[in-house]
Structure 1
Amino acid sequence: MTEETLFEFPCQFPIKAMGKNDIEIDVLVIEIIRRHAPEINETHIKTRPSKDGRFLAVTATITANSKQQLDAIYQDLTDHPLILFAL
C-alpha cells in the first residue's frame, strides 16, 4: 500500500527550524538534516535572526526522495530539546 502525498519525489523541499541564537543552532540543524540528506551543503542553507536577535531560523533546502525521509528529518528535529520548532 502506498502512502498518498501531494509531492512528487524527488523534489526540492525547504525545511525550516528555529532555536535560541545563543548556541550554534545552525550547525545543529544541519547536522540533524545531514543524517537523512547527506548531499546538503552550505549553499543550501539560509539563516535569519528574529527581530530582537534572540532566535535564529535556519532554512535548509534538500532534494527530498520520499515522505518517509521527510518524516524522519522532522521527527529528529522536533525530538531535539534545543530546537523550538520545525516547519
Structure 2
Amino acid sequence: MEASDHPTDDFPHTHHVKAIGQNSDLLAAVRQAVAMHAPELPETAFSCRASREGRYLAVTCTLEAQSQAQLEAIYQALRSVDGVILCL
C-alpha cells in the first residue's frame, strides 16, 4: 500500500484530539498546551463533556492538522498537562 492509500497520512486534514482527566482546570490547561502548536485555534475548537458522575472531564479539540510532527507535538504537550490521564 502506498502512503496515499491512508487518508490520515495526507495533510492538512481535520483531526480530533481528546484529553481526559480529573483536573477541574483541564479545559484551560488543554487550551494552553494546544496553543503552543496551533495558536490560531478559536475557543469554539474546544468542547467539554463531564463523565456521568462528574469525576472526569473529556476535552476535545478539533483542528486542521498541518503535519504528523504537529500532531505528535500536541499529544506530547497534552501528556505533560497536570491531571491528564488519557489522550486519544
Q: In structure 2, what is the equivalent of residue 83 of structure 1? A: 84
Q: Give the superposed CA RMSD.
A: 1.5
Corresponding position of 2:17: 15
| Secondary structure at the counterpart of residue 46 of structure 1 | strand
**1:52-84 CA distance string (max 9 Å, x none):** 001100000011000000001111111233211
Q: Percent identity?
A: 39
TM value normalised by structure 1: 0.87
Normalising by structure 2, we get a TM-score of 0.86
User: Structure 2: which 5+ runs fail to align?
Assistant: none
* Runs of 4+ deviating beyond 6 Å: none
1:50, distance to aligned residue in structure 2 (A): 0.4
Measure how far apart 1:44 and its partner are: 1.0
For residues 31 and 79 of structure 1, what CA distance do their matches in structure 2 show? 12
Structure 1 unaligned residues grouped into runs of 5+: none
